Structure 1
Amino acid sequence: MIICVANQKGGVGKTTTLINLGAELARKRKVLIIDLDPQGNCSKTLTSKGRFKFEETIAAMFDKPKVVTINNLIRPALINEKPIVNLDVVPADFQLSRVIETSLTKINRERILEKQLAKLDNLYDVVLLDTPPNLSLTTLNAIQASDLILIPVDSGAFSLDGISPLLEAVSEIKDDDANYVILRNEVDSRNTIINEFMDEELEVIQDKLLPISIRRSEHVGQANAISSPVRFYKPGSLINNDYRKLSSYITSLL
């Protein structure tokens, strides 16, 4: 299964959700995470590196898709410089921004990633695609290639602003095959005003709202600071239960 994690509003915990979901899925499944965001935060967390050689990144594939295959870009995800079992990553960094601009003239440019993923030949149970907070070429590629679009929204009053343009793009690209779910992230059960507001705003797409939510936890920020999924940084953290439930939901779809 190929899952695109997306929201056109930044700061909603999209990358954090993807990293921790991937780490949980990797307990029992073979997982590949592909970083499609020039910010490269996902790559930094899973490799402890901020910069890469151009030919090591997803940018090289978008630059020359007929020469560079995604198989050659895969590397093991690391924690304390040791491989995480069952979890691999294809990294990205700032170099991807330039390549996105030059790739706009390529024929079938929205299907570059889809064609490359076909070359993996079912090597992975789940492929997770991290996208930037905009409708860039990489986001469109991720939507085209995905079986499911996971849209995290946090408890901020403006966190829903990114959903509408994203769903418009999904509808245009996928037509009747659009398959998406919304995940409430960083939920504070004590904040009744915000929670009531979010419930009202999401009422119109209630059928797409997951019965699972991710609680707010300081352990997430701490884990990010040391480039680690939460389950390795703080195994006893309650938020791991939330990511485990999300992982179980995804596993039920396989």
Structure 2
Amino acid sequence: MKTKVISAANQKGGVGKTTTLVNLGAELARKRKVLVVDLDPQGNCTKTLTGQRHFQFEETVAAMFDKPKVVSIVDLIRPALLDGEPIQNLDVVPADFQLSRIIETSLTKINRERILEKQLAKLGETYDFILLDTPPNLSLTTLNAIQASDLILIPVDSGAFSLDGINPLLEAVSEIKDDEANYLILRNEVDVRNAVINEFIEDELEITKDKVLSVTIRRSEHVSQANAVSAPVRFYKSGSLVNNDYRKLASLIAG
């Protein structure tokens, strides 16, 4: 099986990119080997999958972008942890808050949008899936993720403004990817009781309905609780109904 690279992206913050990626990764790791690369300087993905808030700069993806000819992504990979114990089949490349500064200085590098793509090529087919978490903007890390991705997953939540980040993102995608962009929209934090907002979101997405996934992720307090204790939901609350949604998403993504 060829490694499939998937990025979670949306210029609008707070729509659940990181949460979606963490829980998708945890579900895929039941049967497949998964690497999560944190490309967001906030490092929330790193915190959830390692329980650690701080890493040495040279241990993070920021060091790779700083000196891509010296630092290899292979040396930055570490196992995802739950209460200090490795999670089977799930690895992570941590981020560092200095990543935003490094990205600014990387703007002068030749082929700057392909730094990550070239690094991922070093992994060969070690992983079945590589998941890329991006910041809520079109910074160089997001552009690198788009360039390296086979699929761009765009989460939108039930907020009236969550769709605002889609068009600028798709414009960037079409510029970077000459062929037809492969993207899918995921409705996240769906509350079936909120008929007004659900109808609004559905109307807004009508024009791209062929790109909207049939799977949706329900709103659940267990998700935010799991984030607070640095754990994917399936480990925090195995009986939570939202796990069924993430499982369906993983099944659909895995094909």
1:112 aligns with 2:115: yes
1:6 aligns with 2:9: yes
User: 1:212 pairs with 208, 212, 215, which one?
Assistant: 215
Mapped to 2, the partners of 1:174 and 1:217 lie a distance apart of 35
Mapped to 2, the partners of 1:106 and 1:136 lie a distance apart of 14
- Give the aligned partner of residue 170 of structure 2: 167
- Give the aligned partner of residue 19 of structure 1: 22
TM-score by length of 1: 0.99
Equivalent runs, 1:1-254 vs 2, <5 Å: 1-252=4-255
Letter in structure 1 aligned against 2:134: T
Query: Structure 1: which 5+ runs fail to align?
Result: none
Contact 1:50 1:93 (C-alpha < 8 Å) held by counterparts: no
Mapped to 2, the partners of 1:93 and 1:119 lie a distance apart of 22
Letter in structure 2 aligned against 1:187: V
Output one character per residue of 1:79-137: Cα deviation in whole Å (capped at 9) or x when no partner: 01100000000000201111001100000000000000000011000000000000000
Which segments of structure 1 move beyond 3 Å, counting only runs of 4 or more?
none
1:176 Cα deviation (Å)? 1.6
Mapped to 2, the partners of 1:46 and 1:95 lie a distance apart of 19
Query: Structure 2: which 5+ runs fail to align?
Result: none
Equivalent position SS for 1:120: coil
1:158 Cα deviation (Å)? 0.1
Mapped to 2, the partners of 1:145 and 1:235 lie a distance apart of 33
Output one character per residue of 1:154-185: Cα deviation in whole Å (capped at 9) or x when no partner: 00000000000000000000022410000000
Output one character per residue of 1:171-217: Cα deviation in whole Å (capped at 9) or x when no partner: 00002241000000000001000110011000000000000000000
Output one character per residue of 1:15-74: Cα deviation in whole Å (capped at 9) or x when no partner: 000000000000000000000000000001111111110110000100000011100000
Mapped to 1, the partners of 2:95 and 2:7 lie a distance apart of 16
Equivalent position SS for 1:176: coil
Equivalent position SS for 2:122: helix
TM-score by length of 2: 0.98
1:221 Cα deviation (Å)? 0.6
| RMSD after superposition | 0.5
Mapped to 2, the partners of 1:20 and 1:63 lie a distance apart of 29
Residues matched between the structures, number: 252
